[in-house]
Amino acid sequence: MEKIIVIGNGMVGYKFCEKLRAKADKNKFEITVFGEEPHAAYDRVHLSEYFTNPSVSHLEMAPRSWYEENDINLISGEMINAIDRNNKTVTSHKGTQLPYDKLILATGSSAFVPPIKGVEKEGVFVYRTIEDLDAIIEYSKKTKKAAVMGGGLLGLEAAKAMMDLKQETHVIEFAPRLMPRQLDNAGSDALLTKMQELGIKLHLNKNTRNIAGEGQMTGMEFADDSNLDVEMLVISAGIKPRDELATQCGLAVGQRGGIVVNDLLQTDDTDIFAIGECALHKNFIYGLVAPGYEMADVVVNQLIGGEEKSFKSYDMSTKLKLIGVDVASFGNALCENEDHKPIVFEDKHTGIYKRINISEDGKRLLGGILVGEAEAYNMLLQVTLNGMALPPNPEDLILGSRGGEETKMELPDSAQVCSCENVTKGDICQAVIDNELEDIEQVKTCTKAGTGCGACNPIVKDIFNEQLAKMGKTVKNVICEHFDYSRQEILDIIKIKKIQDYNQLLNDHGTGDGCETCRPLVASLLASTWNEMILDKGKDSLQDTNDKYLANIQKGGSYSVVPRIPGGEITPDKLIVIGQVAKKYDLYTKVTGGQRIDLFGAQIHQLPDIWEELINAGFESGHAYGKSLRTVKSCVGSTWCRYGLHDSVSFSIEVEERYRGLRSPHKLKGGVSGCRRECAEAQSKDFGIIATEEGWNLYVCGNGGSNPQHAQLLAGDIDSETCLKYIDRFLMFYIKTAEPLNRTATWLNKLDGGLDYLIDVVVNDSLGIAADLEKEMEFMVDTYKCEWKEVVNNPELRKRFTHFVNTEIPDPTMKFEDMRGQKKPVEWGA
């Protein structure tokens, strides 16, 4: 057996072992791996996740048992400090000596620490290993202000981590811009603004001269005589290849570090290879994992005597993972020394900057930069790497097409889609065909695509769907593994077969035992079809927690109570009752963004008592917990306002009471304004009504939330009766056809024919279903009951509201503290 020793159990060292075992007969090679770190190889790329989930096993490339199962002798916690090339042995710092036939150096890099006075002080850290992170986390417990030295990719990641550790965070960068190797000035400016919005303080053009403090650091001093008080510093100023072993045994190393290798990754000694971040190829150190994996592949290929394959220079495109701002740069991003024509899109308002570099002849994409929005990254990267011909209007690539067909480019089979695992489009398509893959998870397991940094996941999914479509398999929007139907199909089944029970539906039309996706979805469909009490026997287990307890769950496990206050109108007497109830049960009160009052911090057993008091005072459920109507916001309107055209308050109350309790694919909100000054913000609602001289304008499909969208005019100058009629039809049509959890805006965006079609259906009754829709809505309106009233009056249902079933005590772990004279839950554990 040939003896292989791998020095370094990092990402690349691990990948080498994995590939060698996968490709060669087990009995051909005896593998020993030395790792200096105490842990088995872990995913350094996702190291920052350790701050939010400090679990080593989560990061491990493979559990220790994997090494055993694969007959790999893993020796962790031992550093090799000598190689004897004459006798072909290595020796560890503990004195272990072992012979080798072939030696693989996969020693990676360490963080580069610039020679600044004071770097040895307590409170100065680097950011490379789990130990580093443990030390940072520990130290941060007693500090409030931290700085990161280096505004590159890693530095920004470290800055995000400092934010997560609740530090006031500063980033110090020597260059005049952020991510100087990936971004131009305008790109850096856009990123800068975004980072400042996140609360990170940035200092550019800063040359650190000294780290101040006695023993412990207390601040930083810069060459321009300014200084900064910080208690902790994380240095992220670049990497230093670990080539000390190579030097010790006389192998060539580069002037600025790195073990010199040829295209076959051989060092000067043909029995010794170097791969990963320690290898200097054509005078270049690759600080990314994908080229390291490719190097491992090239070496494995030689060892098993495969077809000749050499290492070629590698693309360095990157996308920032963590910071909450999309940043990507690909191909030749800066084009500093290449003739090119840039196309630039900049929106200072939203902080989006995009630049693509087109070749002089206008035929090819050379590279580019995306800040603020990087959805197009995968596609642009593929166009660049594959030298694909550009569309006639290349600006569409970053602007999206304005009118007309969408710009979509067909990738060649050879396009490398996942660079971490080197998977091409062809590999994915072939795997789908050969193994008859039917879901995206299988594709990932089978091809490994998307299992590295994960950046390619969206494109992998697209390719998978396209391939299925090509094979004539329909890509269906089935709701989950338990039902092979779309939401609309299930609704049809429920109606046609008159199904009233989830288990019956699952037995007859599904498989398995359901899940958190299909249960609440079916519950909502049953409710919007039969309008029965949602907590009736058998239905309660289908409801999301909020629906199950008719209240919204909050941090710590307490609930909020939101009584309906239609149109935002409330009498002083009712206000007093809310105050009294809040006081009696010690609830935090806040006026919501929906013109009503939210009472927070009720314990589960208190809910029925609280509601009993509210109901006795004439309140009813506000359905803040349900996918159902929330509020119909109003302005004060013509009764008081000098501009008011009609009585918007009365109308909003009428509308709110009409649709209260109506279950739908997502929540519903309305608004009524008394004139076009629009104080009720009706145009941001699912349906918005604005008074005109002649009557009302009805707008539909508006949305606040993360993707705000204005509502659009469905019908103008209509009377109140027509207005309600149209809303009846509109809402029922939406309820019947929308996918789960699609607000009306999203639904309209996907609706074939868009607004014109909707107007046709609702106003012109083009499908001839208007009368049915109205009838169905009438049934809902007539059968409405306040759910809380039913619970309060039903001792069986009331019994459900306890924390324990074997003792009366409430949950003793629930804790509150004081803030501005009211209570708040203690922050939850990480």
Residue ranges for the known binding site are 635, 641, 675, 679
Mark out the alpha helices in 322-423 (DSSP H runs).
377-385, 396-399
Instruction: Give the residue numbers of the binding site for [4Fe-4S] cluster.
Output: 635, 641, 675, 679
Q: Which does 255 bind (CB under 5 to 8 A by kind): ligand FAD, another protein, ligand SRM, none?
A: none
Position of tokens 């791998």? 6
Angle between helix 502-509 and helix 518-530 axes, rounded to 10 deg: 120
Residue 292 contact, options another protein, ligand SRM, ligand FAD, none, Cβ 5-8 Å cut-off depending on partner type: ligand FAD
**80 versus 629: smaller Cβ distance to ligand FAD:** 80
Interface region with another protein, contact rule CB under 8 A, candidates 37-45, 168-176, 554-562, 757-765: 554-562
With binding defined as CB under 6 A, does residue 552 bind ligand SRM? yes
User: Per CB under 8 A, does 829 bind another protein?
Assistant: yes
**Between residues 706 and 807, which has the closer beta carbon with respect to another protein?**
807
The answer to whether the beta carbons of residues 101 and 88 sit under 8 Å apart is yes
Residue from 596, 646, 725, 729 touching ligand SRM (CB under 6 A): that is 596
Token pair recorded at residue 682: 């009706």
- Please give the residue ranges that form the binding site for ligand FAD (CB under 6 A): 7-13, 34-37, 44-45, 47-48, 79-80, 106-109, 127-128, 154, 157, 242, 245, 276-277, 287-290, 292, 321, 453
Radius of gyration of the chain measured on its C-alpha atoms: 32
**569 Cβ contact list (under 8 Å, min separation 6):** 634, 649, 653
Q: In this complex, which beta carbon is closest to ligand FAD, that of residue 47 or of residue 217?
A: 47
The entry of ligand FAD, another protein, ligand SRM, none that residue 245 binds, CB within 5 to 8 Å by partner kind: ligand FAD
Among 706, 764, 807, 813, binds ligand SRM (CB under 6 A): 706
| 372: nearest Cα among 346, 335, 391 | 346
In the list 306, 324, 579, 705, the residue contacting ligand SRM (rule: CB under 6 A) is 705
Query: In terms of CB distance, is 638 or 683 closer to ligand SRM?
Result: 683
512 forms part of the interface with another protein (CB under 8 A): yes
Rounded to whole angstroms, the Cα distance separating 375 from 32 reads 43
Task: Candidates 213, 426, 454, 594: give the one binding ligand SRM (CB under 6 A).
Answer: 594
Residue numbers in the known binding site for siroheme are: 679
355 binds, among ligand SRM, another protein, ligand FAD, none (CB under 5 to 8 A by kind): none
812 binds, among ligand FAD, ligand SRM, another protein, none (CB under 5 to 8 A by kind): another protein
CB of 829 to another protein, least distance (A): 4
Q: What is the DSSP string of 373-402?
A: --TTHHHHHHHHHTTPPPPSSTTHHHH--S
553: contact with another protein by CB under 8 A: yes
* Residue 593: how many other CB atoms lie within 10 Å: 11
Cβ nearer to another protein, comparing 101 with 544: 544
Give, as ranges, the residues between 625 and 654 that touch ligand SRM (CB under 6 A). 630-631
- Report 731-750 residues binding ligand SRM (CB under 6 A): 743
Conformational region of residue 724, where left means phi above 0, alpha means psi within -120 to 50, and beta covers everything else: alpha
Q: What are the backbone angles phi and psi of residue 563, rounded to the nearest 5°?
A: -75, 150
Beta strands in 642-784 (DSSP E): 668-673, 687-691, 696-700, 712-718
Instruction: Give the tokens for residue 86.
Output: 């004459």
Residue 7 touches which of ligand SRM, another protein, ligand FAD, none (Cβ within 5-8 Å per kind): ligand FAD
CA-based nearest residue to 717, from 700, 682, 688, 693:
693
Q: How far apart are CA 326 and CA 597, in angstroms?
A: 37
Q: Of the two residues 286 and 559, which places its CB atom closer to ligand SRM in the complex?
A: 559
Please tell me the distance from the alpha carbon of residue 747 to that of residue 737, in angstroms, as a whole number: 9
Binding to another protein (CB under 8 A): which residues in 461-490?
Answer: 481-482
Q: Which stretch binds another protein (CB under 8 A): 130-138, 358-366, 453-461, 512-520?
A: 512-520
Cβ–Cβ < 8 Å for 672, 633 = yes
Choices 75-83, 301-309, 345-353, 550-558; region in contact with another protein by CB under 8 A: 550-558
Q: How far is the CB of 656 from ligand SRM (least distance, A)?
A: 11
**What is each CA distance from 190 to 177, 206, 550, in whole angstroms?**
11, 20, 44
Following DSSP, what letter does each residue of 241-271 receive, concatenated?
Answer: E--HHHHHTT--B-TTS-EEE-TT-B-SSTT
- Any contact of residue 624 with ligand SRM (CB under 6 A)? yes
Residue 262: CB minimum distance to ligand FAD, A: 18
Alpha carbons within 13 angstroms on the beta-carbon side of residue 212 total 11
> Cα(691)–Cα(649) distance, rounded to whole angstroms?
11
Q: CA 743 to CA 68: how far, in whole Å?
A: 51
Specify the residue, 333 or 562, whose C-beta has the smaller distance to ligand SRM. 562
In angstroms, what is the minimal distance from the CB of 30 to another protein?
A: 33
Closest distance of CB 244 from ligand FAD, Å: 7
For another protein, the closer of residues 151 and 740 by Cβ is 740
We find the least distance from the C-beta atom of residue 698 to ligand SRM, in angstroms, to be: 17
Residues with Cβ within 8 Å of residue 100, at least 6 apart in sequence: 3, 4, 5, 88, 89, 90, 271
- Residue 590 contacts which entry, another protein, ligand FAD, ligand SRM, none (Cβ below 5-8 A, type-dependent): ligand SRM
CA 619 to chain CA centroid, Å, is 39
Check: CB of residue 4 under 8 Å from CB of residue 31: yes
Longest dimension (CA), the chain: 99
- CA dihedral angle for residue 639, residue 640, residue 641, residue 646, rounded to 10 degrees: 0
Q: Which residues bind another protein (CB under 8 A)?
A: 53, 55, 57-58, 481-482, 503, 506, 512-516, 518-520, 537-538, 540-541, 544-546, 548-549, 553, 555-557, 800, 802-807, 809, 811-814, 828-830
Q: Which residues bind ligand SRM (CB under 6 A)?
A: 552, 554, 560, 562, 590, 592-594, 596, 598, 624, 630-631, 667, 669, 703-706, 743
